[in-house]
Structure 1
Amino acid sequence: MTGVPEGGSESVTLDLLKHKMAEFAKERDWERFHSPRNLLLALVGEVGELSEIFQWKGEVPKGLPDWKEEEKVHLGEELSDVLLYLVRLSDICGVDLGQAALRKVELNAVKYPATGCKETSSKQNQKTSNFTDDTDTIIIIIIPPIYNDLPCVHLQSLSVKRLTCEDFFFLLCHLILEGFGVVEDNPKVNVTVGA
């Protein structure tokens, strides 16, 4: 790898980044360390570093008008780390990231049509927060077996009349935020941890 392009004259594509990252790893004999798990953990670490930049700033306006130039440069570096690990991870996993992203945009357009997404956020929150209106008590059993040194969570729901994907996603997020404990603000949700 010869280095960084001068003056930004080179057009940047995901394919170019993929090849540069592969070459970078090969030149350093790092390919042996670039397993999907290792790359994912490195990516998560970089997302943490990116998050630190915004941690105490509260909401910031688009374009970051109040930021110093060195803060914007630092932000660009951390965004780049996240992007580069993501590109490398997708390459190692054999996923065409560009095509996968385009497909996801198309799926989201079907899932969230423009005509139905113009509700206020309070209406949307009401829709997703009333997930047990048509259900009996939901019992979630979380069984964490160990597989390749990574905990795997199995969810089993009982006594459910209707649970849509959106409702399940909301419930899962709720459980994660509550640290897999009992979701106290909803008496219809009962969480059991065990084997």
Structure 2
Amino acid sequence: MTLDALTQRLRDFASARGWEPFHHPKNLVMALSGEVGELISLFQWLTPEEAREYRSDSTLTTNVRDEIADVLLYLIQLADSLDIDLLEVGNAKVDRNETRFPPMQR
């Protein structure tokens, strides 16, 4: 599935439920922030080692995957509502970061 196809699927999902009036940038960014908070809460009290080994706990793994999916879906909907091409802006940001942060000399 492509990003465009997933975006359309989300549009169709929201439309079928009459949610379009609520999917404006303010609400979407607030929902995105809430989902990021839920993802944070899963890792908040873990040690760095425990966080790296999250897959050893099947419940945590399921919850992490679900929260990452929620973050992704709200980000896609937010970008769609603002008419922002995620791949374009993502690549442009990496381009700028490559200039700002040159590779380490080894």
Structure 2 stretches lacking a partner, 5+ long: none
How do residues 18-167 of structure 1 correspond to structure 2 at under 5 angstroms? 18-60=7-49, 64=53, 67-115=56-104
Moved over 4 A (4+): none
Between Structure 1 and Structure 2, the one with more strand by share is 1
Matched residue count: 106
Superposed CA deviations along residues 135-169 of structure 1, whole A, max 9, x for unmatched, are: xxxxxxxxxxxxxxxxxxxxxxxxxxxxxxxxxxx
CA distance 1:102–1:61, change in 2 (3 Å) = farther
Counterpart-to-counterpart distance in 2, 1:60 and 1:13: 34
CA distance 1:39–1:18, change in 2 (3 Å) = same
Between Structure 1 and Structure 2, the one with more helix by share is 2
Instruction: Report deviation, 1:53.
Output: 0.3
TM-score (normalised: structure 1): 0.50
Counterpart-to-counterpart distance in 2, 1:17 and 1:60: 34
Amino acid at match of 2:7: K
Instruction: Report deviation, 1:65.
Output: 5.8
> RMSD of the TM alignment (CA)?
1.9
Amino acid at match of 1:86: L
Q: Is the 8 A contact 2:35 2:70 kept in 1?
A: yes
Counterpart-to-counterpart distance in 1, 2:51 and 2:43: 13
Counterpart-to-counterpart distance in 1, 2:25 and 2:47: 33
Structure 1 stretches lacking a partner, 5+ long: 1-11, 119-195
TM-score (normalised: structure 2): 0.90
